[in-house]
Structure 1
Amino acid sequence: MNTHPFATLSPDRLLDLVEALGLQPDGRLLALNSYENRVYQVGIEDSDPLILKVYRPSRWSTAALEEEHGFALELAERDIPVVPPLIINGNTLHEHAGFHYALYPRRGGHAPELDDPDTREWLGRMLGRIHALGAVEPFAHRLSLDPQRMGRESRDHILAQGLMPAHLLPAYQSLTDDLLIDIDAAFARAQGYAVIRLHGDCHPGNILWTDQGPHFVDLDDCINGPALQDLWMLLSGERAERAMQLSDVLAGYEDFHPFDLRELHLLEALRTLRLMSHAAWLARRWDDPAFPPAFPWFASGRFWEDHILALREQAAAMQEPPLSV
């Protein structure tokens, strides 16, 4: 018997969530690509479809969810291109049948062309505007980027979970012991950077591009942290390529918000923390029935071999000097 909380999200239950807000769904439901939460396109009678986002129970407090929505609304009020939740009956966050949820307008677009310098500079300008507002005050109820939580706790969870083949455990533990020391050293070198409100998960899949430029979606992971957390995922390729890409991004970014060059010490540490925390996220969610079919490779020995190899590459990258711009 499936006892996961999302198991009760039948089509009828999903339509009930929409009807509880006084809207009339037409019965059309399309599941969208989301695993942490559940997201659907919902047809509405005599109107455009809406996006229904049902939050994973117990992940965020009500105050933290409201803070995410408030940040999105603040950005939208300043014509910064994000997709905020709709205000319905005076609220953006709703609760029904044991679930918190929100409705969003449907927005199309495609991934940004990150090999174009003009696109990179445009994205930099938008992120500079987001961070200028984010720097006004920190979140009170959301997490802060924490290398202990993302690194050490992720590593310890993987070691305890039992999904990694036993013969790989000694290599993984030794490697991550060294990486955690290097990550702490990187944060020590960058000491003094400003902690601001961030998008938090600003990978290209969360940026939709149209003829009018970019708009940012999915603030579900918005946190307090260093500005670089929202920039480094726009970079790829060899070291020289990444330096050029970062220069383009900062050319636009610094039109609206200063960038502290000390944060460049964090770049490879942040990449390493994302690798470690992503693996731990999959391990923590493995009891969710949506995860094994979506990530069948995760429980294989090949995945863990590749993961250790990626972490070894990060260990080497963290010994290099920071990018220069």
Structure 2
Amino acid sequence: MQPEGLRRAVEAARAVVSELGLPADDVDVVHDSDRVVLRLLPADVLARVAPGGQSAESAFEVEVARRLTGVDAPVAELDPRSDPRVHARDGFAVSLWTYYEPLGAEIAPADYADALQLHHAALRRIDLDAPHFTDRVAVALAGVDDRERSPELSDADRAFLHDTLRGLSAGISADGARDQLLHGEPHPGNLLNTRRGPLFVDLATCCRGPVEFDLAHGPEEAAEHYAGADPELVHRCRALNWALFSAWRWRRDDQMPDRDHWRAEGLHRVRAALGRT
């Protein structure tokens, strides 16, 4: 967020926490992009603060977390001192979560696969109206095809991303029998190593599709430890995920740090992944 937006987001989170009777004297910025994640102390609560236009996504994430917690999924939980809902403050949507002190050790690919299998098993136990992964591809395609929304994307790269997104999406979705609820973006940054074990966060990306779509976000070695995974489908999903990543980076309003680097790197990763499919 821009500095003024970040200041207002911090104040909105502090106001919500204070109204619950919890002390929020100090604020640490854990993550800052189009929405921010804040740790408020000494209450030790994690606040996810999104622009008001993303309130529906925030509410969806809260509902996903609530249902998954009820089936003992390996996910970060909402803060038990607050109702499981989104708080509207000063044009922001604020949700409150439990803070988990991260452990320093990196999660091994085999442990990542184990955590993802547990997560997928829990997702099969809940009933939730979630979009299909192809809906996300359609949104990305709309941005790629709209020159006003991606003005710096060259004609050649625009055509390349368009064809890649459309072709891979159609091929991967052809066998709908493999579909189930997924995390949506379970990359290593969305899996915390905690004293409770690995816990998934950022649940707003929940969607439907084959488990290989999720596996393609993780370490390449993880698929070897996931029972029943199709290696070739994982490779195709990895190429699709990099194409989606690239499409987001070329949006005019994208706020990812070091965006210029990731624009070039994303396209490189797509081509490298396509070489393995």
Give the TM-score band, short-chain normalised. 0.7 to 0.9
Letter of the 2:118 counterpart: R
Answer yes or no: is 1:58 the counterpart of 2:53: yes
Aligned length: 276
How many Å separate the matches in 1 of 2:264 and 2:82? Answer: 51
Which residue is equivalent to 2:168? 183
Task: Answer with 7-16 or 79-88: which moved more.
Answer: 7-16
**What TM-score, normalized to structure 2?**
0.81
Report the CA distance between 1:91 and its aligned residue.
3.3
CA RMSD after TM alignment: 3.3
Answer yes or no: is 1:231 the counterpart of 2:215: yes
Task: Specify the SS of the correspondent of 2:133.
Answer: coil
C-alpha offsets along residues 194-229 of structure 1, whole Å, 9 cap, x if unaligned?
332222111111112245531222213222222122
Which residue is equivalent to 1:143? 131
Answer yes or no: is 1:216 the counterpart of 2:200: yes
Which residue is equivalent to 1:171? 156
Maintained 8 Å contact 1:52/1:103:
yes
Aligned pairs for 1:1-325 (under 5 A) are: 6=5, 9=8, 11-25=10-24, 27-44=25-42, 48-61=43-56, 64-88=57-81, 90-110=83-103, 113=106, 119-136=108-125, 139-140=128-129, 142-146=130-134, 148-149=137-138, 152-157=141-146, 161-164=150-153, 169-180=154-165, 182-184=167-169, 186-187=171-172, 190-210=174-194, 212-236=196-220, 242=221, 245-250=222-227, 259=228, 261=230, 264-284=231-251, 286=253, 291=255, 294-295=257-258, 297-298=259-260, 304-318=263-277
State the percentage of identical aligned residues. 20
Maintained 8 Å contact 2:143/2:150:
no
Q: 1:8 to 1:178 in 2, by over 3 A?
A: same
Task: Specify the SS of the correspondent of 1:52.
Answer: strand
Q: 1:191 to 1:112 in 2, by over 3 A?
A: farther
Larger Rg: 1
Report the CA distance between 1:235 and its aligned residue.
2.7
Maintained 8 Å contact 1:54/1:99:
yes
Q: 1:160 to 1:211 in 2, by over 3 A?
A: closer
Q: 1:126 to 1:10 in 2, by over 3 A?
A: closer
Q: 1:15 to 1:191 in 2, by over 3 A?
A: same
Task: Specify the SS of the correspondent of 2:53.
Answer: coil
Maintained 8 Å contact 2:45/2:79:
no
How many Å separate the matches in 2 of 1:122 and 1:154? Answer: 36
Report the CA distance between 1:30 and its aligned residue.
1.0
How many Å separate the matches in 1 of 2:3 and 2:84? Answer: 28
Residue segments in structure 2 that go unaligned for 5+ positions in a row = none
